[in-house]
Structure 1
Amino acid sequence: MKIAYFSPLNPLKSGISDYSEQLLKYLQNHFEIDIFVDDFTPENKFINENFKIFDYIKDPSLLEKLKEYDHIVYNIGNNPHYHSNMYDVFLKYNGVIILHDFVLYFLITGYYLETLNSEKLFLNEMVYNDEINGEKRAMKILSSSINPLQFDKPHEIPLNKRLINSAKAIIVHSDYARNKVLEINPAANCIKINQIGPDIASRDYYKELKKVYRKKYGIKEDEVLISSFGYVSPTKRIDKVLEALASSKDKRFKYLLVGEGDYIDSLIKKYGLEEIVIKTGFTDLIEFDDLIACSDIVVNLRYPYMGETSATMIRALCLGKPTIVSNIGWFSEIDDASVIKIEVDNYEVENLKKCLSKLLDDSNYKESLGQQAKIYAEKYLDSHVIAKNFYEFLNSNKESLEIKVASNLGVQLYNLDLIESHTTIDRLAKTINVLMQE
């Protein structure tokens, strides 16, 4: 089976880049895969040596090849800089979506206002997604002094209806996301396939690594290393973690923030945590994974929630790390014995403080939680099983020759402005398919 695979890849700084590079290693055992990129050169040696890579921005004619594939797979996330060109291709050549974020406000807003530079099309899209309030909300966003891409309530306007209605199939990583997709379109062909985890090195390797990184970041041997990972943004609730740590009388720990972002710098100073908090800035994936392995406790909170899973959480589970998460969305689906869950409410900071204190004081509890996390990962996050699930799902959705011919005809009519949307292409293809079989 031949697959056209669209995704950001490193050097683009995205968890989806890391996800795809890991997934492709296992999918290649089941499919013949060509990778389509938009104006960048992948830096991963394995990717470059094992796949054909086509840059469709430098050579748009390459998109004509898409009719030769059994499936076109698009990795869609909420970053307009990494996904707008891909989304534009999807609108003309719809296919299978791996939906990494349920909320796509930033992607769709960036696509219409920046890529297409059209307030009118943005307004139309808002109305398409919300016939009652869409126009009013669009006008409010467009008339605001705040850049639409800095809108602070994107979770209230997911802007994903067109993608969900148009995709031939949708793969999500949580029951939460699948249920939300089906709320929008009950007939959507949507399946949950678990997020893929990293390959785990030997215990001895990580034991030696721990010494190296503790020395690098000035962490004493008897200090507990608490860590949070990824872009340091308000949605990660780092301000709440700092508040909990500041009120703790026990300071036998260091708090490592692995990622870029400075919104909490003033809080570090306010709470007098300059000697406790260590910021690494951006790290490559190798060091990112290594620092999860070297951590004693991981804190991975979320709110507002965009319907995503967490690559950090997947890695923490695979590495057997005791982790505290927000009891929301996908995080709430993880087995209760494998993580500590806290509610996002008025008692969040106090509950976080209690959970951290218990982990700091009770080494047996901390070890047991880590062991349960690893058991969960071994049961649900096996890379070979996940790749097989992809194969079975895509194979079961392989189109007939008639559907492919009809769909390709629909695309040509769309490009000639003879039909108004890619949704019409799907309806046309199905109608022609029936006629061809009579």
Structure 2
Amino acid sequence: MSRTFWFSPVPPSRTDIAQYSARIVPHLSSRIELQVLHPGAAQGDGQLGAQPMAGVSPRALNASWSCLYNIGNNPVFHGEILHTARRHPGVVVLHDRSLQDLCHAVLDREAADNGGMASYAAAMAHWYGRPGREAARAVHAGDATISSIAGDFPLFEVALQGALGAVTHNPLVADEISERFPGMPVATLPLPYSPPAEPAPGPPQLTPDRPIRLVMFGYLNPNRRLCEFLRAWAQSPWKHRFELDLAGEMNNGPEVRSAIAEAGLGERVRDHGFLPDDRLDALIRQAHLVLNLRNPTMGEASGSQLRIWANGAASVVSGTGWYRQLPQGSVLQISTEREHEDLLALLDDLAEGRIDPGKVARRGAQCLSASDPALYAAALAEWLVERREAMFAHWSETALIEATARNYAACTPPRFIPRLPDRLLG
């Protein structure tokens, strides 16, 4: 078996997909010959034996046994990987259902550099017809945001067009891939997470004489609902009982700081910025409850949720996507339709002792048994070997059909091309 290339950000990159690779690569390397390639410049610490993508020639890619492309929504970490995946067929490990941020950042730049590649607006029209085209125009005009259209127009199709197969950690996304790309081999595996060296003690006890500590961490983008939580907190009669620690990066910092000031919560919110793993884990273990809200969700299985469980903490999530499928009792859930009311009720229940964070944390910790990295690597390697011939057969058949269709379209006089009525195009 020749070498397999694994495209992924690696530590110390500030993304959970880098941590995912750090968990998987040692186990996967024992089963297949693996070379890790990372985007950007050389990493000083050489973790996972990774090399820069730019140092690998197309000839080496063509001679490989397989290429696995880890693709998420952040263009900083995945723009270069998407660029290569669209030119050299491989297996896409799809970490986010919605790739709107990634495609919006990458496709127009590609179109400017190479007129043969489709722009963002062209991709939206290609995959979603007139509604997609209009949504792209609204984004470019500033009448809509990427986040607001991500649920209806996820654009994962851009990464999967021409792929040999796909790996996902969300059964709902797997079903959607199979619907959009009939016949494409798709594997659904539970997102892996390394268990802690020592069992976590569980959340601290709720007592009337001590503040209730809340934590939110990660990329605190608008879909994480931080501003919405702050507004509910400001209206709670138990406002004085809570403290909030923030850890991570946010792209709407001015809006968040304004919401904190308007709510009069400045002395109760601490912004730690990005924390190293050990300090973040310690912060999570000190929390009575972790806020892991997402609406809209990008369709991801949540590495942050596994981290919360591994640290013996309780959490509250938005009842949508992957989070809605979590086992009963392993998390608290907020309805996306009644978000404000549910947040107020959550604060009431915490303040009056009607929620037992320890019970929620213990039920969540039981869910980690399905996330063993060694088992994940074994299942992935087995699937790659078993489905490899089927992947190439399906890819070849699809490529032949597409090439034939293009040839017929190029030589067919326009008057012979049927035009669908406008009522069917909208």
TM range, smaller chain? 0.7 to 0.9
Q: Give deviations 1:97-117, integer Å, cap 9, x for gaps.
A: 110111112222222212442
Of 49, 52, 56, the match for 1:55: 52
Q: Which residue of 1 aligns with 2:411?
A: none
Q: Which residue of 1 aligns with 2:40?
A: 39
Q: Which residue of 1 aligns with 2:417?
A: none
Q: Give deviations 1:244-280, integer Å, cap 9, x for gaps.
A: 3223333333211111221311111111111211111
Structure 1 residues 363 and 351, CA gap change in structure 2 (3 angstroms)? closer
Do the aligned partners of 1:170 and 1:189 also contact (CA within 8 Å) in 2? yes
Query: Are 1:241 and 2:229 counterparts?
Result: yes
1:368-407 maps to which residues of 2 (within 5 A)? 368-378=359-369, 380-399=370-389
Q: Which residue of 2 aligns with 1:432?
A: none
Do the aligned partners of 1:324 and 1:339 also contact (CA within 8 Å) in 2? yes
Q: Give deviations 1:11-36, integer Å, cap 9, x for gaps.
A: 33222122222222332332221011
Structure 1 residues 184 and 398, CA gap change in structure 2 (3 angstroms)? closer
Amino acid at match of 2:270: I
Q: Matches of 1:125 and 1:266 in 2, distance apart?
A: 36
Q: Which residue of 2 aligns with 1:93?
A: 88
Do the aligned partners of 1:198 and 1:315 also contact (CA within 8 Å) in 2? no
Of 118, 125, 138, the match for 1:121: 118
Structure 1 range deviating more: 9-18 or 256-265: 9-18
Amino acid at match of 1:391: A
1:211-290 maps to which residues of 2 (within 5 A)? 222-250=210-238, 251-261=240-250, 262=253, 263-290=255-282
1:13-412 maps to which residues of 2 (within 5 A)? 13-43=14-44, 46-47=47-48, 51=49, 53-57=50-54, 59=55, 61=57, 63-117=58-112, 121-122=118-119, 123-142=121-140, 144=141, 152-203=148-199, 222-250=210-238, 251-261=240-250, 262=253, 263-345=255-337, 347-362=338-353, 365-378=356-369, 380-399=370-389
Using the TM superposition, give the Cα deviation of residue 339 of structure 1 relative to its aligned residue in structure 2, in angstroms: 0.8
Structure 1 residues 301 and 255, CA gap change in structure 2 (3 angstroms)? same
Structure 1 residues 398 and 236, CA gap change in structure 2 (3 angstroms)? same
Helix, strand or coil for the counterpart of 2:93? strand
Q: Matches of 1:193 and 1:371 in 2, distance apart?
A: 23
Do the aligned partners of 2:213 and 2:242 also contact (CA within 8 Å) in 1? yes
Paired residues in the alignment total 392
Amino acid at match of 1:348: E
Structure 1 residues 139 and 279, CA gap change in structure 2 (3 angstroms)? closer
**TM-score normalised over the length of structure 2:** 0.82
Q: Give deviations 1:401-435, integer Å, cap 9, x for gaps.
A: x959x99xx9xxxxxxxxxxx9637988xxxxxxx
Query: Are 1:9 and 2:10 counterparts?
Result: yes
Helix, strand or coil for the counterpart of 1:307? coil
Q: Matches of 1:82 and 1:9 in 2, distance apart?
A: 9
Using the TM superposition, give the Cα deviation of residue 203 of structure 1 relative to its aligned residue in structure 2, in angstroms: 4.2
Q: Matches of 1:160 and 1:192 in 2, distance apart?
A: 16
Q: Matches of 1:202 and 1:73 in 2, distance apart?
A: 33
Using the TM superposition, give the Cα deviation of residue 374 of structure 1 relative to its aligned residue in structure 2, in angstroms: 0.7
Amino acid at match of 1:358: D
Using the TM superposition, give the Cα deviation of residue 60 of structure 1 relative to its aligned residue in structure 2, in angstroms: 5.1
Of 420, 424, 434, the match for 2:399: 424
Structure 1 residues 150 and 43, CA gap change in structure 2 (3 angstroms)? farther
Q: Matches of 2:134 and 2:167 in 1, distance apart?
A: 32
Structure 1 runs (4+) deviating above 4 angstroms are 43-46, 134-142, 148-152, 425-428
Structure 1 residues 274 and 136, CA gap change in structure 2 (3 angstroms)? closer
Q: Matches of 1:358 and 1:149 in 2, distance apart?
A: 34
Do the aligned partners of 1:106 and 1:149 also contact (CA within 8 Å) in 2? no
In the alignment, structure 2 segments of 5+ residues that lack a partner are 404-426
Using the TM superposition, give the Cα deviation of residue 168 of structure 1 relative to its aligned residue in structure 2, in angstroms: 1.2
Amino acid at match of 1:333: Q
Query: What RMSD over aligned residues (CA atoms) do the two structures have, in Å?
Result: 3.3
In the alignment, structure 1 segments of 5+ residues that lack a partner are 211-220, 411-421, 429-438
Using the TM superposition, give the Cα deviation of residue 193 of structure 1 relative to its aligned residue in structure 2, in angstroms: 0.8
Q: Give deviations 1:111-164, integer Å, cap 9, x for gaps.
A: 22124426882143233212344444445545x268x98674233322222433
Structure 1 range deviating more: 23-32 or 132-141: 132-141
Do the aligned partners of 2:196 and 2:310 also contact (CA within 8 Å) in 1? yes
Do the aligned partners of 2:194 and 2:372 also contact (CA within 8 Å) in 1? no
Taking only the aligned residue pairs, the percentage that are identical comes to 23
Structure 1 residues 164 and 40, CA gap change in structure 2 (3 angstroms)? same
Q: Which residue of 2 aligns with 1:414?
A: none
Do the aligned partners of 2:318 and 2:334 also contact (CA within 8 Å) in 1? yes
Amino acid at match of 2:365: K
Q: Matches of 1:424 and 1:174 in 2, distance apart?
A: 27
Structure 1 residues 294 and 26, CA gap change in structure 2 (3 angstroms)? farther
